[in-house]
Structure 1
Amino acid sequence: MSFLVTLTVNRACYRVVLEDERMTLLDLLREHLELTGTKKGCDRGQCGACTVLVNQRRVNSCLALAISVDGADVLTIEGLSQGEEIHPVQAAFIEHDGFQCGFCTPGQIMSTLGLIQEGRTGEDPERIREAMSGNLCRCGAYAGITDAVLDSLGRMREKTTQNGEAA
């Protein structure tokens, strides 16, 4: 039996026929939509390398069944930049050396964006580290990641203010 899933990924609408209802969102993104920026780390929801935003909430895509996101809005690392202009969170990670090998970086960046949208940490480094604890970095770039998240908060606030929206 096959299942039709319709979803929006990075502002583009997709209709995908699933032959296996057990397919994860991660496998749908990587194997069917060829969006390989989302990484398969542990494949058990423990490392956060596969973090994407589903309806603006952080999700470990290796744990979410593709069929469960029918009708959802999914944002992956590939959907952040606008042409040649990188997203403010990406710029902050570059500026603060928030990565070393780079494998975890897409998940770290997507988790940072989700954390900012959730608005629960403020600018408290300890709360940020706790909120980002589901994203592991084997290289140990945590100091740079925390600095990048703090900088991202300011950049996103500034971007919102420049766009005339409420800060």
Structure 2
Amino acid sequence: MRESSVDVAPDMKLNEVRAGQINAYNQVEANLQNPRPGLMSQLKVKTKVTEVGKTKVVLQNEKSNMAMAPNSNFNYAIPWGDTQLKAGTYTLTLDSTAKGGYHWHFVKNFTVTQKQINSLKNKINTPQQHNYLWWFVAGGILIILLLAIIIYLLLKRKRNDDDDKQESK
């Protein structure tokens, strides 16, 4: 329902950038906000994280075909993947486009402290590697034991057959 036929242009703001964790995976979280009552559709966000003053990209991410509701915000996640960030100051560069020719460009510095890194390490970060060695050892012993029982039973049967043949002579 609308009061006017005039479309309200969406706007985007970058509120906060910090290191965090969702679903046990470390990531950089950029809080994006649409403070206006305009809907953003076909939203595309492209990010890169570098150390302050350097050009080498540490993390990068791109997502498209997103939408953002009016008067809302959300944490855009940039997963660390196999990269382990060290304590220090980083720069997030975020470019975003939406349907209607809207474009936003943000550059924001953020700091990752050793305390944050330690707290993220204490949580489950990646799926645990399972050691199946003892399962293989137990399976091997079971197979050898079954083979020994089968051989014993076959030899016992052969001996009984030999004994029956000698008795019949």
Q: Which has the greater radius of gyration?
A: 2
TM-score, normalised to structure 2, is 0.24
Looking at secondary structure, tell me which structure has more helix per residue. Answer: 1
TM-score norm. by structure 1 comes to 0.24
